Amino acid sequence: MIRIFTRFEVFWHWTQAALIFGLLFTGLELHGSYALLGFGQAFAVHIVLAWALIALWAFAIFWHLTTGEWRQYVPTGTGVARMAAYYAYGIFSGEAKPFVKTRSAKHNPLQRLAYFAFKAAIAPALWISGLLLLSYNYWDGTWLSGPLSLAAVAGVHVTAALALIVFLIAHVYMAATTGSPWYEYLRAMVTGYDCEEGECLPRRR
C-alpha cells in the first residue's frame, strides 16, 4: 500500500462532492422539482454553496498548475478502447485489469477522458452560466442582451446540471462495482493509499 492521492486531493474530492450534492439538492428545488426549504432559503443556500465551490475550484486549479498534477487529467488517446472493453465484458469474465495505477498515472485512459470532459465542458458551463444568472441585473439591457437571454442561460445551466448528474451516477456506479475488493476506490479516496501493483495481495498470517 502506497500513498497515491495527497491529503489535498482527498480533501478536495470530498469537499467538492459535498458542495456539488448540496447545489444539486437546492438547484432542483429552485427548478420546482420539489418543495422543502422554500424558494428563498434554497436560493440563498445555493448561492453560498456556489461561491464556496468556485473558491475551491480556483484553489484546486492553482494547486494542479503549481504541482504539475494537471497532467493526470490529460487524455492519452491510447488504451480507451481496451478499458471500455474491460468494463463492458472483461471485468465479468475475470480478465486482468489493462491498467495499473501508479503515483505518476493515477487514472486509467477512460477515467482521464471522463474527468477531462467534466473539467473542460461541464464545470465551465455550470460556472459561467451560474455567474451570468447571478449577475443578470447587471447585463440585462446591455449589449449582452443581444446574444444572451435569461432563458438561454438558464437552459445551459440546467443542461449542464443534468450532465453532471449523469456523470455522478456513472462515477458512483463505477467506483462501487469495479474495484477488487469492491471498496477499493472508496478506500483510496478516504485514506489516500492504494495498491500500486494492481490488486492487493491477501495479508499473510
Say if pTM beats, i.e. exceeds, 0.75: yes
pLDDT digits (tens, 9 = 90+) for 11-58: 999 999 999 999 999 999 988 888 888 889 999 999 999 999 999 999
In a domain, 99, yes or no: yes
How many other CB atoms are found less than 10 A from the CB of residue 89?
10
What is the model's pLDDT at position 204? 39
Res. 196 pLDDT band, cuts 50 70 90: low
| CATH for 92 | 1.20.950.20
In a domain, 21, yes or no: yes
In a domain, 16, yes or no: yes
Least confident of 56-65, 145-154, 165-174: 145-154
pLDDT at 198 over 60: no
Kindly report the length of the chain: 205
- Count of domains in the chain? 1
Report the chain's mean pLDDT, rounded to a whole number. 85
pLDDT digits (tens, 9 = 90+) for 107-147: 888 889 889 999 899 999 999 999 999 888 888 878 877 77
Is residue 159 within 8 Å of 122, Cβ to Cβ?
Answer: no
Of 125, 72, 70, 101, the closest CA to residue 197 belongs to 101
C-alpha cell read off for 32:
420546482
How many other CB atoms are found less than 10 A from the CB of residue 150?
12
In a domain, 10, yes or no: yes
Q: Hey, what amino acid is at 37?
A: L
186-191 average pLDDT score = 86
In a domain, 202, yes or no: no
184-201 average pLDDT score = 74
Q: What is the distance in angstroms between the CA of the first residue and the CA of the last residue of the chain?
A: 17
In a domain, 199, yes or no: no
Q: Could you give the CA distance from residue 103 to residue 71 in angstroms, rounded to a whole number?
A: 12
Res. 197 pLDDT band, cuts 50 70 90: low
In a domain, 37, yes or no: yes
Percent of the chain residues past pLDDT 70, beyond the cut: 93
166-176 average pLDDT score = 89
In a domain, 203, yes or no: no
Q: How far is CA 148 from CA 40, 127, 131, 155, in A?
A: 25, 16, 13, 11
Residue 117 belongs to domain spanning: 2-194
C-alpha cell read off for 118:
467534466
What is the model's pLDDT at position 203? 42
What is the model's pLDDT at position 126? 93
> Which one has a higher pLDDT value, 72 or 102?
72
Q: 64-73 long-range CB contacts below 8 Å, 24 or more apart? A: 69/9, 72/105, 72/106, 72/107, 72/112, 73/107, 73/112, 73/115, 73/116, 73/119
